[in-house]
Amino acid sequence: MKQKLHIPILLLSLCSLFCTLPASAGISSVSVTQNANCTGRGNQYEPILSALITVTGDAAELTSVDITLDGTTDINDYEKVKIYSTGSDMLKSPTFDDKDGGDAVLLGEYEPQSGTMSCKLTTPVTLEASGFNFIWVVAAVSEDAKEGNKLDATLVSLTAGDETIAVSNGNPDGSREILMIRKLLYSPGDNGSTAYRIPAMVILPNGNIVTAIDRRWDSEADLANRIDIIARISEDGGYTWSEEYPIATASDAKNGRGDCALVVAPNGDIIAAFVGGNGLVASSVNDPISSFISRSSDGGKTWTPVEEGGQGDITSQIWGPDCNGDATRLAGTAAFFGSGRGLCLSRQRGENADKNGRIMFVTAVRNNGILYNYAVYSDDNGLTWKVSEQAYSNGDESKVAELNDGTILMSVRRTGSGANQNERGYVTSTDGGETWSEEATWSDLKVNACNGDILEYTTLFEGYDKNRTLHSLPINDGSKSRAKVSIYLSYDEGKTWTRKKQLFSGNSAYSTMIKLPDGTIGVYAEDQQGGTTKNYFMRFSLAWLTDGEDIYTAPPAGVEEIQAGDDTAATINAGEGRIEITSPETIAIAIYDIDGTTVKSLDASQSCSIAIEPGSYIVKAGDTVKKLIVK
């Protein structure tokens, strides 16, 4: 992973190990730290190891560093091996800028080799007397590196002055696993800000990725704060990114904007939902935190303006004495949207079929210190909005996904206290998000209270081989901190979950997901391992996520004739939840799933309508064979 690696000075991390050396060597100890995060193809500044070198007595000139690449899956995944120094400044030196190297000094660049690499420094560095010094073993990752392979290194020895000092324990546990993409989009201080936080992301019909994020000028704090919402666009699947495009900007803390969620409307517009003005706790009827809607009709480059009490302000429709809602909303004092990605319905059928195209976010209304979740939805591309019945109490930031049969699943960050409080909450809706089931929790999603995303990745309704639902969340290893954002996978549409892969090795928080046209998965997430927030875009395959146990296969495009019969052959067509067959005579019918397992077999004459679950099938009626999708 690209990241600034931070080394505690007084208390070393668990993966840092000391090597105590003779005092006469000048170097009295070396502490080696392993970066155990993921990395991405083509990244040029990826720290593998760092060494904190302690010198007692006189200064010494470091002239050579011996390493091995043991533990690396394929050394060809290294384009180059680089050695850097970040000096001895105790405020700056413990970090390495993985975006472009920052102020680090390049000491040498080397071709990867098997066995021990003796890296003679082209720029020797003076190790400061009676002080701490930092050097780094850095990978330039090959553009052709294989997804899932690992990069590793061992620090074998250091040559300073006339002595070569062996480093014991120069290979702490861990390695860096390669993703298709891991791109650092924002670091603290970028563009004059304190930090960027709260990622949101959608993918457009043309394949472009549009992101939104808070640019927080004065601190990492939420509203009230001077915060802009900024968009960026990738036209090549996340490899390169555009300049910044403002969605909403603030001149001071009083008119800050933040916590954005995005969705693509049926007409192609991108709808942004966010809040502004007063903060959640300080908000009141007379001085509210406002809920806004803005739109872009040009792929995310320009956005409609918003104004408190004016254009784009839908606060009074969500909460307050004029909202025409339930008692909780009428007496509410604030609300905010669950940031990240909204939902556009596309799998509704039967009596709900006219709700396809509905766009939806989830809001949390504050009443007497408690947060209550509601769906906020529009049936006219975001021009007008309605609010559902109450979905969850003691909720927080929540996300929605549309399941195979059109059921809406809401995943809820929970607050408050009580039974099973460490478990993620959920409710469902079978009427397009207007009413909701009883509150429930997932016993196998014991996660820290944090925003995440839920994505219906594949469905039988769309012709895929199985239903797959993804959830991005931190994990809870007994610590109450947000850490180790991971991707969970469900094959039964959220009834049960298995954590498949971890994206961060340490502190990490908010995340959002998309599915790209080729079936790969994109994640935009916050890395907080250094005590500040950096934001990465990552892209990987289903095969990587499942360690090769599951492979993404695109569904058939529609009805495909595999074998045509003679002039008296049957006709085969897919209906809604049915397969329709017409034949001039009695014929044998067999229906198979894509794996070739017989689903149904029967004899039928003239015509028949066979009820069947949505999915992809191969149908043989007499001499005619067709592959089709039932929705």
Residues 435, 441, 443: CA angle, nearest 5 degrees? 155
Selection from 316, 296, 293, 302 nearest residue 382 by Cα: 293
Q: Are strands 60-68 and 117-127 parallel, antiparallel or unpaired?
A: antiparallel
Confidence band of 11 (pLDDT split at 50, 70, 90) = very low
Assess whether pLDDT exceeds 90 at residue 487.
Answer: yes
Sorting pLDDT into bands at 50, 70 and 90, what band is 546? very high
Helix (H, G, I), strand (E, B) or coil at 142: coil
Question: At residue 407, does pLDDT exceed 50?
Answer: yes
- What does the alpha-carbon distance between residue 434 and residue 494 come to, in Å, rounded to a whole number? 20
Q: Mean pLDDT lowest for which of 3-12, 152-161, 274-283, 456-465? A: 3-12
- The strand order across the sheet containing 195-203 reads 195-203, 209-216, 227-234, 245-248
Percent above pLDDT 70 for the chain: 92
DSSP 3-state of 456: strand
d(CA 263, CA 539): 20
Percent of the chain with pLDDT over 90: 75
Whether the pLDDT of residue 570 is over 90: the answer is: no
CATH 2.60.40.1290 domain position(s) in the chain: 17-179
| pLDDT for 4 beyond 50 | no
* Mean pLDDT, residues 477-505 taken together: 89
DSSP letter string over 126-137? EEPTTEEEEEEE
Half-sphere exposure of 199 (CA within 13 A, CB side): 31
What are the DSSP calls for 209-239, one per residue? EEEEEEEESS-S--SSS-EEEEEEEESSTTS
Could you tell me which CATH number the domain at 17-179 has? 2.60.40.1290
333 token code pair: 């004092």
pLDDT value of position 56: 86
- pLDDT bin (cut points 50, 70, 90) of residue 24 is very low
Reading the block at residue 76, the tokens are 């060809």
Beta partners for 185?
none
CB 210 within 8 A of CB 231: yes
Largest CA distance in the chain: 100
pLDDT at 565: 62
What does the alpha-carbon distance between residue 314 and residue 390 come to, in Å, rounded to a whole number? 18
Tell me which amino acid residue 534 is. K
Q: Is the dihedral of CA 494, 500, 502, 503 positive or negative?
A: negative
Q: What is the mean pLDDT of the chain?
A: 91
**Which pLDDT belongs to residue 229?**
98
- Distance, CA of 429 to CA of 405 (rounded, Å): 11
Residue, of 54 and 530, whose pLDDT is higher: 54
**Residue 77 in contact with residue 69, Cβ under 8 Å?**
no
Tell me the average pLDDT across 85-114.
93
Q: Is the pLDDT at 6 greater than 90, yes or no?
A: no
Category of 10 on φ-ψ map: left (φ > 0), alpha (ψ -120 to 50) or beta: alpha
Dihedral of alpha carbons 259, 230, 256, 216, sign: positive
Q: With cut-offs at 50, 70 and 90, classify the pLDDT of residue 226.
A: very high
Which range is least confidently modeled, 200-214, 446-460, 494-508, 555-569? 555-569
For the domain covering 560-630, report its CATH number: 2.60.40.3080
Domain with CATH 2.60.40.3080 in the chain: 560-630
What is the tens place of the pLDDT at every residue in 343-352? Answer: 999 999 889 9
The b/e string for 426-446 (b: 16+ C-beta within 10 A; e otherwise) is: bbbbbbbbbebeebebbeebb
172-182 pLDDT tens trace: 999 999 999 99
Which 3 state secondary structure label does DSSP give 275?
A: strand
pLDDT at 157: 97
- Strand 209-216 to strand 607-611: parallel, antiparallel, or no bridges (unpaired)? unpaired
**Mean pLDDT on 219-246:** 98
Q: Rounded CA gap, 315 and 309, in Å?
A: 8
pLDDT value for 529: 92
pLDDT confidence bin for 566, thresholds 50/70/90: low
pLDDT band per the 50, 70, 90 thresholds, residue 5: very low
Residue 74 has pLDDT above 90, yes or no: yes
DSSP annotation of 107: E
Is residue 19 over pLDDT 70? no
Please, which pLDDT band fits residue 448 given cuts at 50, 70 and 90?
A: confident
**Residue 133 C-alpha from the chain's centroid:** 35
Q: Residue 22: which pLDDT band, with cuts at 50, 70 and 90?
A: very low
Q: How confident is the model at residue 17 (pLDDT cuts 50, 70, 90)?
A: very low
Q: Which residue, 92, 90, 86, is CA-closest to 107? A: 86
Tell me the average pLDDT across 134-154: 98
What is the pLDDT, as a whole number, of residue 13? Answer: 36
**Hey, what are 135's tokens?**
């050097």
CA dihedral (123, 124, 129, 133) in degrees, to 10, reads: 60
The predicted pLDDT at position 3 comes to 39
Report whether pLDDT(475) > 50: yes
Mean pLDDT of 608-629: 85
Report which of residues 88 and 434 the model is more confident about. 434
Q: How far apart are CA 231 and CA 509, in angstroms?
A: 20
Binning pLDDT at 50, 70 and 90, where does residue 315 land? very high
CB under 8 Å to 627, separation ≥6 — which residues?
556, 559, 560, 562, 616, 617, 618, 619
More confident residue, 511 or 611: 511
What's the confidence (pLDDT) of residue 617?
85
Least confident piece of the model among 8-12, 18-22, 487-491: 8-12
Looking at the DSSP assignment, which residues form a beta bridge with residue 30?
19, 53
Distance CA(198)–CA(535), nearest Å, equals: 9
Q: Is the pLDDT of residue 18 over 80?
A: no
